[in-house]
């Protein structure tokens, strides 16, 4: 029981990082029908931007973090939209998919070439200790990671549901033609979705990298997991992506502990197939809202 | 009020409107009739800045508004209710109404105006917390009209409001339009339900092959045997 609790919690902690990536993925999909196959690298890169601030520019950690966050928003939000997504027009289709795959390779190789192929330690923003709950050893960092990620997603959904700008974003994503005739600035709302995705990726990066070290290949499985988490959750549902991410994190840890380590990588795919067979609209999606 | 001269517009390399002239009298209802594909909806899209006007000019009052964007036109007092379903299905009725007022300069007016349109359409008040997509087709159309009224428009462009509505609801919608006209709003409407629409209209416009064929008082169009034969279903007696 104690071990189960431990495994469950660290699964939720990893899953919450998947969830951040999946939620951002789903935002960009909803706003621009763009499937971002570089999403994993979007989570890998911000940590390196912070390391550049720290080690190359010799800035204090807080300044490096700020720099990494701002540059992430600029590169992964604004530049991604303007230079990669926009040129393919409103319905990017397959060419855009290929472009984001190419971007994923480019980001990975750029980090490897210019920063290095070795795993780099990344400063932890959260305390490192453990505490005991009913015999289980619980990592403080896992708990705080989970809480931080949940808080970010909660804030995001509050923003989307409770503010006028958030609802304009929803209108622009669900029905851009209607949004336009009401005078909503659809292009601006789409940009906001890209900026929010970049912010989510940066937060995920800062939370996860202290655990796994900064490495150019960190995004490899994460991108696929985010994609699958978003589909499992219902693709165009923020809460669905959250649930999908957490579910994969937990099941991943449970199989690794209780079944076998060797099938671990296949688990998200198995989950995906199961959902497609039994609930094709996703766990939290509904029939009407399903676009793909 | 609204004045079009020699408007040409279309899609990609097809031109649909081949020089439309039209001048609306203020505080009137004008119904556009014409066969399917004549370019009625295209005319509205061109006026509302959704497709580019290739040549000609559109004036609203004393101002040139050709090819202005919707947000700008809304601010000038022109609202548009397109053909078909146009609600944001997953937002609540109330939030759909709010969206109608995003371009309103004075946001403190939004809440009282929502109250006012809900007084006019009590069904919307009753369902204000429901998702707009869960309303019946008729209620959705009322919601769209109510949403268009939030900016207190001077000119309302409304494209086939009666499609999919029960006869009772059609009568309600027409009453609303007459009420608006009586309050000084100018209405330009496209309607398949031509006889009933012309009956509440002041003027009528026959659009054919992208040109205005006839622009006359509605009563005159209703009495015209050629119009009757072509557009009003059965022949009109007399
Ligand atoms: N987005 C579009 N792209 C290309 N052609 C279009 C587009 N929309 C309409 N058309 C064409 O333009 C012509 C006029 O269409 P429009 O919708 O203006 O007709 P309408 O008079 O409103 O007809 P209806 O009574 O069926 O609503 C039609 O031949 C139509 O096929
Ligand atoms: Mg039409």
Q: Which pLDDT does position B227 carry in this prediction?
A: 81
CA of B16, nearest ligand number: 1
Q: Where are the alpha helices (DSSP H) in B11-153?
A: 40-47, 70-76, 93-99, 110-120, 122-126, 137-149
Task: Take atom 30 of ligand 1 and give the residue whose Cα is closest.
Answer: B37
Mutate to test the pocket of ligand 1, among B7, B10, B16 (most ligand atoms within 8 A of CB): B16
How much is the average pLDDT of B57-72?
95
Q: Do B89 and A288 touch (CB under 8 A)?
A: yes
For residues B125 and B114, give the distance between their C-alpha atoms in angstroms, rounded to a whole number: 9
Q: Which among B80, B88, B102 has the least Cβ separation from residue A175? A: B88
Residue A267: per-residue pLDDT: 79
| CA nearest to A84, candidates A44, A30, A28, A166 | A28
Ligand 1 binding pocket, CB closer than 6 Å: B 11, 16, 34, 36-42, 83
Residue of B40, B44, B45 with the most ligand 1 atoms within 8 Å of its CB, for mutation:
B40
Q: Which residues of A touch B74 (CB under 8 A)?
A: 182-183
What is the spatial distance between Cα A237 and Cα A170, in angstroms, rounded to a whole number? Answer: 11
Residues A289, B98: C-beta atoms closer than 8 Å:
no
**Rounded to the nearest 5 degrees, what angle is found at the Cα of B32, between the Cα atoms of B28 and B35?**
170
The answer to whether A184 contacts B133, with C-beta atoms less than 8 Å apart, is no
Query: In Å, what is the CA distance from B10 to each residue of B57, B87, B113?
Result: 15, 25, 36
Distance in Å, CA B43 to ligand 1 centroid:
10
In the prediction, which pLDDT does A281 show? Answer: 74
Chain A CB contacts of B100 under 8 Å are 182
Angle between helices A61-72 and A39-51 (to 10 degrees): 150
- Give residue A223 CA to ligand 2 midpoint distance, Å: 44
Q: Cβ A167–B100 below 8 Å, yes or no?
A: no
Mutation target among A178, A183, A238, A239 for the B interface, most CBs of B within 10 A: A183
**Which residue's alpha carbon is nearest to atom 26 within ligand 1?**
B36
Check: CB of residue B226 under 8 Å from CB of residue B213: no
Query: Which residues of B sit within 8 Å Cβ distance of A?
Result: 48, 50, 70-71, 74-75, 80, 82, 86-91, 95, 98-100, 102-103, 133, 147
Give the residue carrying structure tokens 């590169």.
A75
Q: Which residues of chain A have pLDDT under 70?
A: 235-236, 261, 283-292
Four-residue CA torsion sign, A110, A115, A121, A127: negative
Of the candidates B62, B58, B69, which has an alpha carbon nearest to the alpha carbon of residue B8?
Answer: B58
pLDDT at A290 (0 to 100): 37
CA distances from A283 to A92, A128, A234 (A): 27, 34, 6
A183·B87 Cβ contact <8 A: no
Give the residue from chain A lying closest to B87, CA to CA: A178
Q: What is the structure's pLDDT at A254?
A: 87
Q: Tell me: pLDDT of B142 over 60.
A: yes
Give the gap in angstroms from C-alpha B225 to the nearest C-alpha of chain A.
Answer: 38
Hey, are the CB atoms on A171 and B89 less than 8 Å from each other? no
Q: What is the structure's pLDDT at A131?
A: 87
The answer to whether A75 touches A199, Cβ cutoff 8 Å, is no
Q: Which residue has the higher pLDDT, B31 or A253?
A: B31
Closest Cβ opposite residue B70 in set A168, A181, A289: A181
Please write the tens of the pLDDT for every residue from B108-136.
999 999 999 999 999 999 999 999 999 99
Residue B9: is its pLDDT beyond 80? yes
C-alpha to C-alpha distance for A3 and B197, rounded to whole angstroms: 74
Mean pLDDT of chain B: 92
Nearest to A24 by CA among A218, A203, A175: A203
Q: What is the pLDDT of residue A249?
A: 92
pLDDT at B190: 96
Domains and CATH numbers, chain A: 2-278 (1.10.3470)
The ligand 1 atom nearest the CA atom of B51: 1
For residues B120 and B128, the answer to whether their CB atoms sit within 8 Å is no
pLDDT tens readout for residues B158-203: 999 998 888 988 998 999 999 999 999 999 999 988 999 999 999 9
Position B237 scores a pLDDT of: 40
Tell me whether residues A181 and B48 touch, CB distance under 8 A: yes
**Gap from B93 CA to chain A (nearest CA, Å):** 12
| A289 contacts on B by Cβ (under 8 Å) | 90
Indicate yes or no: CB of B86 within 8 angstroms of CB of A178. Answer: yes
So what's the pLDDT on residue A287? Answer: 52
What does residue A125 show for φ and ψ, rounded to 5 degrees? -90, -10
CB atoms A164 and B133 under 8 Å: no
| Closest residue to B70, CB basis, from A183, A288, A289 | A183
For residue B105, which residues of chain A lie inside 8 Å, CB to CB? none
């Amino acid at each position: 029981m104690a071990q189960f609790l431990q495994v469950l919690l660290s699964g939720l902690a990893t899953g919450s990082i998947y969830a951040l990536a999946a939620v951002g993925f789903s935002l960009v999909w909803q706003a621009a029908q763009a499937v971002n196959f570089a999403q994993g690298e979007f989570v890998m890169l911000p940590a390196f931007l912070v390391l550049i601030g720290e080690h190359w520019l010799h800035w204090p950690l807080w300044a490096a973090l700020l720099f990494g966050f701002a540059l992430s928003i600029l590169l992964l939000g604004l530049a991604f939209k303007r230079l990669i997504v926009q040129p393919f027009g409103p319905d990017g289709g397959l060419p855009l998919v290929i472009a984001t795959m190419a971007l994923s390779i480019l980001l990975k190789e750029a980090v490897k070439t210019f920063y290095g192929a070795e795993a780099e330690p990344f400063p932890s923003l959260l305390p490192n200790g453990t505490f005991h709950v009913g015999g289980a050893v619980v990592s403080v960092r896992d708990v705080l990671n989970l809480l931080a990620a949940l808080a970010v997603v909660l804030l995001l959904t509050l923003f989307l549901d409770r503010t006028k700008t958030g609802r304009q974003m929803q209108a622009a994503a669900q029905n851009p033609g209607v949004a336009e005739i009401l005078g909503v600035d659809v292009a601006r709302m789409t940009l906001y979705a890209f900026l929010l995705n970049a912010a989510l990726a940066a937060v995920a990066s800062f939370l996860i990298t202290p655990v796994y070290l900064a490495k150019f290949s960190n995004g490899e499985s994460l991108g696929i997991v985010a994609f699958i988490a978003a589909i499992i959750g219902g693709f165009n549902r923020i809460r669905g992506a959250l649930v999908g991410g957490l579910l994969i994190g937990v099941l991943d840890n449970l199989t690794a502990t209780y079944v076998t380590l060797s099938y671990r990588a296949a688990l998200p795919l198995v989950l995906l197939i199961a959902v497609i067979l039994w609930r094709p609209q996703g766990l939290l999606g509904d029939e009407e809202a399903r676009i793909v | 009020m609204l004045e079009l001269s020699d408007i040409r517009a279309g899609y990609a390399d097809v031109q649909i409107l081949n020089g439309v002239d039209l001048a609306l009298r203020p505080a009137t209802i004008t119904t556009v009739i014409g066969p399917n594909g004549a370019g009625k909806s295209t005319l509205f899209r061109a006026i509302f800045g959704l497709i580019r006007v290739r040549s000609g000019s559109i004036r609203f009052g004393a101002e040139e508004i050709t090819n202005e964007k919707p947000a700008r036109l809304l601010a000038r007092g022109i609202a548009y209710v397109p053909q078909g379903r146009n609600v944001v299905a997953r937002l609540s009725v109330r939030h759909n109404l709010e969206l109608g007022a995003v371009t309103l300069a004075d946001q403190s007016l939004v809440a009282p105006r929502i109250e006012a349109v809900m007084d006019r359409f009590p069904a919307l008040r009753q369902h204000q917390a429901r998702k707009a997509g869960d309303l019946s087709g008729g209620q959705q159309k009322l919601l769209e009209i109510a949403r268009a009224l939030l900016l207190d428009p001077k000119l309302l462009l409304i494209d086939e409001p009666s499609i999919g509505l029960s006869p009772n609801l059609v009568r309600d919608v027409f009453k609303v339009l007459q009420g608006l006209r009586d309050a000084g709003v100018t209405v330009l409407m496209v309607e398949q339900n031509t006889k009933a629409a012309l009956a509440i209209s002041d003027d009528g416009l026959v659009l054919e092959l992208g040109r205005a064929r006839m622009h006359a008082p509605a009563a005159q169009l209703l009495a015209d045997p050629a119009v009757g034969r072509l557009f009003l279903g059965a022949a009109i007696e007399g």
